[in-house]
Amino acid sequence: MTNIELGENIRKIRELKGFTQQNLADEIKVDQKTISRIEKGEISPKFETLVSISKILSVNISQILSFNESLIFNNYNQYQQGGNYNAYINTEIEKVEELYKQLLKEKDEVIALLKKK
């Protein structure tokens, strides 16, 4: 992986997480220009800096290294009024299924309680 690819991955994840360069820089105690230079691929981050970035962005280092935006940007739709809508899906399907089953179970429990009353 080149410095440019690594920097682009960091930038994309940072933007998806809603951080500005300044936010990220403040959190990891570096200058905003350092973040900019990392994202442009001008410099390679120290390992400690990469670890700090991954912690702040709530991803592990392997996710930064192997970031694939096609897994994040699932689809792109148009609102009826002509506006744009981006759908981001970064949850594994097994977790979604598990959550759905849990919600169905809780719904059934609520219905049972309401019927008793």
pLDDT by residue (tens digit) across 10-48?
Answer: 999 999 889 999 999 999 999 999 999 999 999 999 999
Q: Which domain holds residue 15?
A: 3-67
- Pair (13, 43) in one structural domain: yes
- Pair (61, 13) in one structural domain: yes
Task: Specify the number of domains making up the chain.
Answer: 2
**Length of the chain in residues, anyone?**
117
On average, the pLDDT of the chain sits at 81
- Pair (40, 95) in one structural domain: no
Helix pair angle (3-16, 32-40), 10° resolution: 120
Terminal Cα distance for the chain, rounded: 62
In this prediction the pTM is: 0.61
Residue 76: pLDDT band (50, 70, 90) is very low
- Pair (35, 78) in one structural domain: no
pLDDT score at 87:
46
Q: What angle do CA 8, 53, 84 make, to 5 degrees?
A: 50
Which residues pair with residue 76 across a beta bridge?
Answer: 86
With residue 75 as reference, give the H or E element that holds it: strand 73-78
Share of the chain above pLDDT 90, in %: 49
